[in-house]
Structure 1
Amino acid sequence: MHYIINLVRNRNFVLVFAVIIGLVLGDFANDIKSYTTYILAIVMTFSMTNIRTSSLYPLKSLLKPMLTGALLNYFAYALIMIGLAYFLIDDRDLFYGFVVIATTPPGVAIVPFSYILQGDVEYSIKGVLGAFICTVFITPFAVGWITGNDGIDSLDLFLLMVKTIVIPLLISRILLMPIPFKLVDKIRGKAVDWGFALLIFIAVGLNRQVFFSEPGILLKIALILFLTHFVLGMVYEKICTLLNRNPIKVMSENLLLTIKSSGFAVVTAITLFGQKAAIPTAGLAIFVLLYLLYLSFRMDLKNKKAQK
C-alpha cells in the first residue's frame, strides 16, 4: 500500500499513467473536454504560487531576465519548431498544433527544476514571468499571423490568455497570503501534477485512434520534439560553454528555452483548432518530462563523478 501511495505522489508516474489511461480509456475524454479551460486555470493558479512577489524586486533587475526569457521562449524555440514543422508536417491541423506549442509560455516547472539542477532560481522566476506577460500579447498575434486567422478570432484568443494567465496570476497573489498559503503549500504539488495529467489524458484520449493507426505521423512529431528539446538544449549549452558563460545562469536559460507549458498548449490547441491539433501537445508533455529526467540524471552523474 505504501508503494502505491508513493507512485501516486510521483510526478513522472502520474504523467506517464495519464498517457496510458488516455490510450486505454480515451473515449471518456469527450465527456470532460469542455472543462479544459477551467482545469488549466486551476492548474496555472496553483503553479504560479511558485513565483513569489518578493522575487520581482528591485524592478530594474527584472528587465534583462524578462527579455531573455521572452526571446528564448518565443524567438529561438519558435523559429526552429515552426521551421521544422513547416517542412515535415503536411497536415494543416497538426501544423497548427506546433504553432500553438511554439507560442506557448514556458512551463512553471522551470522554477523548481532550476533549483534541482543548480541553476539561478531568481533569474528563472523573472524569465518565466517575462515570458508569461509576453504571452498575453504575443500569442494572439503570432498564432493569428502564422495561421492566417484560419477560423479563429484574435480577441477570443486574447480572452483565453486572460482566463488562463492573467486571472490565475492575480489569484495566486491572494493564495500567497499567510492563511490560505498553509493549505496551498500542502496540496499545490498534487493539484498541479494531477491537473496536468488530466489535460494530457484528454489530449491523448481524443486522438487515441491516431496513436494506434498512424505511426508515421507520430514519428515525425517525435522527431520535431526531440530536435527542439534535446538537440536545441545541448547546442545552446555548447555555444554558451564556448563563450565562457556562467554555467549557473546557462542552466536557467536552457530551461527557459526548452521547457514549455504542455497543459496550456493542450487547452489552446483544442480550443482553437480541434482535437487533432492537440496530438503534438500530448507529445510535448512526454518530451518535456523526458528532457527534465535527462537533465536530472546528467546532474546526478556529474555530482557522483565530482565526489570520486
Structure 2
Amino acid sequence: MQFIYKLILNRNSILVFAVILGLVAGDFASIFQPFSFFVLAVTMSFSMTGIRMQSLLNPKAMLGPMLLGAFLNYAVFGLVVISLAYFVMPTENLFYGFVVIAAAPPGVAIIPFSYILKGDVEYSIAGVLGAFLASVVVAPLFISLFANHTDVSSYSLFILMVKLVLIPLVISRFMLYKPLFRYIEPVRGKVVDWGFAVLIFIAVGMNRQVFFSAPTILLLVGGVLLTVTFGLGTIYSLIAKRMGIQRPRATTQTMLATIKSTGFSVFTALTLFGKEAAIPSAVMAVVVLLYLIFLSIKSSKLKMTVS
C-alpha cells in the first residue's frame, strides 16, 4: 500500500501514467477537453508560486538572467525547433504544433530542478520569469510569423497569453500570502503534477489513433524533439564549459535552453489548431521527462566522481 501511495505521488510516475491512460482510455479525453483551460489556469497559478519576487529586489543583477532566459528559450530553442520541424514535418498542423512549442514559455520545473541538480536557483527564477514575461509578446509574434495564413489574430493571441501567463502570475502573488500559502505549499507540487498530467492525457487520448497507426509520424516528431532537447542541451553544456561558465549556472542555462511548458503548449495547440497540432506537445511531455531523468542521473554520477 505504501508503495502504491509513493507511486501516485511521484512526478515521473504521474506523467507516465497520463500517457498510458491516454493510450488505453483515450476515448474519454474529449469529455475533459472543455475543462482544459480551467485546469491549465489553476496549474499555472500554483506552479508560479515558485517564482519569488524577493529574488528580483536587485534589478541590475536580475536583468541579465531575465534577458538571457528569454533569449535561450525563444531565440535558441525556438528557432532551432521551428527550423527542423519545417523541413521534417509532413503536414501543416504538425508544423504548427512545433510553432506553439517554440512560442511556449519555459517549464516552471526548471526552478525545482535547479535545486535538485545543484544549479543556480536564483538565476533560474530570474530566467524563467524573464521568459514568461517575454512570452506575452513573443508567443503571438512567433505564431503570427510562422502560422500567418491561419485565422488566428495577433490580438486574440495576446489576450490568450494575458489569460494564461499574466493573470496566473498575479494570482500566484496572492497565493504567496503567508496565512494562505501554508495550506498551498504542501499540495502545490501535486496540483501541478496532476494538472499537467490531465492535459497530457487529453492530448494523447485525442490522438491515440496516431500512436497506434502512424509510427512514422511519431518517429519524425520524436526525432525532432530528441534532437533539439538532448542535442541542444549537450552542445550548450560544451559551449558553457568552453566559455568558463560555472557548472551551477551552466546547468540552469542548459535547462532554460531545452525545457518548455508542456501543459501550456498542449492547451494552446489544441485551442488554436486542433488535435493533430497537439501531437508534438504530447510527445514532448515524454521527451522532457526522459531528459530530466537523464540530467538527474548525470548529476548523480558527477557527484560520485567529485566525492
TM-score normalised by the chain length of structure 2: 0.99
> Following TM superposition, by how much is the alpha carbon of 1:149 offset from its aligned partner in structure 2, in angstroms?
4.3
**Further displaced range: 270-279 or 57-66:** 57-66
Asked if 1:76 corresponds to 2:76, the answer is yes
Q: Deviations over 1:12-49 (max 9, x none)?
A: 00000000000000011111111111111100000000
The amino acid across from 1:249 in the alignment is R
> Following TM superposition, by how much is the alpha carbon of 1:102 offset from its aligned partner in structure 2, in angstroms?
0.7
Q: Is the 8 A contact 1:211 1:218 kept in 2?
A: yes
> Following TM superposition, by how much is the alpha carbon of 1:246 offset from its aligned partner in structure 2, in angstroms?
1.6
> Following TM superposition, by how much is the alpha carbon of 1:241 offset from its aligned partner in structure 2, in angstroms?
1.2
Question: What does 1:44-59 align with in structure 2 at a 5 Å threshold?
Answer: 44-59=44-59
| Structure 2 unpaired stretches of 5+ | none
> 1 CA distance for matches of 2:242 and 2:301?
22
> 1 CA distance for matches of 2:250 and 2:149?
36
Asked if 1:92 corresponds to 2:92, the answer is yes
Asked if 1:231 corresponds to 2:235, the answer is no
Aligned match of 2:219: 219
> Following TM superposition, by how much is the alpha carbon of 1:129 offset from its aligned partner in structure 2, in angstroms?
0.3
Residue identity over aligned pairs, in percent, reads: 51
> 2 CA distance for matches of 1:296 and 1:209?
33
> 1 CA distance for matches of 2:145 and 2:252?
30
Aligned match of 1:153: 153
Asked if 1:169 corresponds to 2:169, the answer is yes
Aligned match of 2:137: 137
> 2 CA distance for matches of 1:211 and 1:71?
33
> 2 CA distance for matches of 1:203 and 1:165?
20
What stretches of structure 1 move > 6 A for 4+ residues in a row?
Answer: none
Question: What does 1:289-300 align with in structure 2 at a 5 Å threshold?
Answer: 289-300=289-300
Q: Is the 8 A contact 1:143 1:149 kept in 2?
A: no
Aligned match of 2:33: 33
Q: Is the 8 A contact 1:104 1:260 kept in 2?
A: yes
SS in 2 for 1:260: coil
> 2 CA distance for matches of 1:291 and 1:155?
35
Aligned match of 1:202: 202
> 2 CA distance for matches of 1:112 and 1:138?
25
> Following TM superposition, by how much is the alpha carbon of 1:78 offset from its aligned partner in structure 2, in angstroms?
1.1
> 1 CA distance for matches of 2:250 and 2:201?
33
> Following TM superposition, by how much is the alpha carbon of 1:234 offset from its aligned partner in structure 2, in angstroms?
0.3
> 2 CA distance for matches of 1:199 and 1:57?
34
> Following TM superposition, by how much is the alpha carbon of 1:306 offset from its aligned partner in structure 2, in angstroms?
2.4
> Following TM superposition, by how much is the alpha carbon of 1:8 offset from its aligned partner in structure 2, in angstroms?
0.5
The amino acid across from 1:160 in the alignment is L
> 2 CA distance for matches of 1:5 and 1:111?
25
> 1 CA distance for matches of 2:14 and 2:175?
25
> 2 CA distance for matches of 1:292 and 1:151?
36
Aligned match of 2:248: 248
Q: Deviations over 1:219-266 (max 9, x none)?
A: 000110011100100001111112222221111100100010000000
The amino acid across from 1:108 in the alignment is V
Aligned match of 1:301: 301
> 2 CA distance for matches of 1:122 and 1:168?
21
Give the count of matched residue pairs. 307
Aligned match of 1:13: 13
Q: Deviations over 1:120-144 (max 9, x none)?
A: 1001100000000000011012101
The amino acid across from 1:52 in the alignment is R
The amino acid across from 1:277 in the alignment is A
The amino acid across from 1:235 in the alignment is I
TM-score normalised by the chain length of structure 1: 0.98
SS in 2 for 1:258: coil
SS in 1 for 2:257: helix
